[in-house]
Structure 1
Amino acid sequence: MSESKSKADPSRRAFLAGASVAVAAVIAGGLKPRAARAAGAKLPHLTDADPLAKSLGYTQNHNEIEKAEHPTYKAGEHCSLCRFFQGTPGEKSGYAACQIYPGYAVNAQGWCASFNPRS
């Protein structure tokens, strides 16, 4: 096997590391009782400084996203339109629990790389 094939691309490695953290967070979030997840107003607000938030590019305001920094972002995507958001779909303001960030409430107008539109 050649040396070039044995080394993983650093960006792929970073993506896989972030993805594995996200999967673990979703699994852990799914284990909490539904009432606890829905009580987003009582949870501490997630900040951009949180390590998991940083790894998934979380920002509290989707209107401030720089496309160069977050190439997967599409205009109009925000937390309240995501399937992981535990609040009211389409909420314009406020905070609610999120399956990706167990133990925290996310801004309805926030965004992260785990965005998955509601069906």
Structure 2
Amino acid sequence: MFKPTTRRIFMMTCSAAAATFGLDVQAQTKVDEKDPQAMALGYVADATKTDPKKFPKYAPGQDCSNCVLFQGKPTDAFGGCPLFGAKQVAGKGWCSAWAKRG
């Protein structure tokens, strides 16, 4: 037989759902500059600290937020990048795979 949902059950269910969604957002870690993949690509979290002698392709104004690979809005502080899997890159970061967003 059908048993109606009480307010108490409804509130507990909503709380559990909210907690689950919160965990998903927190689970995404940031790319560490010392990560082997990051080092291979010359990733830095602050594009202004890029060594232009080591990476002559770098030009001021280039950063992850205006790269075609950045999976976020240009105003986002962090966003995904397919080069780093589930990790997030800094919007103000840079790596040698930078390509202008069209």
Q: Normalising to structure 1: TM-score of the pair?
A: 0.61
Superposed CA RMSD in Å reads: 1.7
TM-score, structure 2 length as denominator?
A: 0.71
Structure showing greater radius of gyration is: 2
Matched, 1:107 2:79: no
| Aligned-pair CA distance for 1:99 | 1.4
Matched, 1:46 2:46: no
Cα distance in 2 between the residues matched to 1:41 and 1:83:
25
Instruction: Name the amino acid aligned to 2:77.
Output: G
Give the C-alpha shift of residue 42 in structure 1.
4.2
How many residue pairs end up in the alignment?
79
Q: 1:85 to 1:41 in 2, by over 3 A?
A: farther
1:32-111 superposed matches below 5 A: 42-89=27-74, 91=75, 94-111=77-94
How far residue 50 of structure 1 moved from its aligned partner, in angstroms, is: 0.6
SS of the equivalent of 1:100 reads helix
Q: Once the two structures are aligned, what percentage of the paired residues are identical?
A: 28
Structure 1 unaligned spans of 5+ = 1-38
Structure 2's unaligned 5+ residue stretches are 1-23
How far apart in 2 are the matches of 1:45 and 1:107? 8
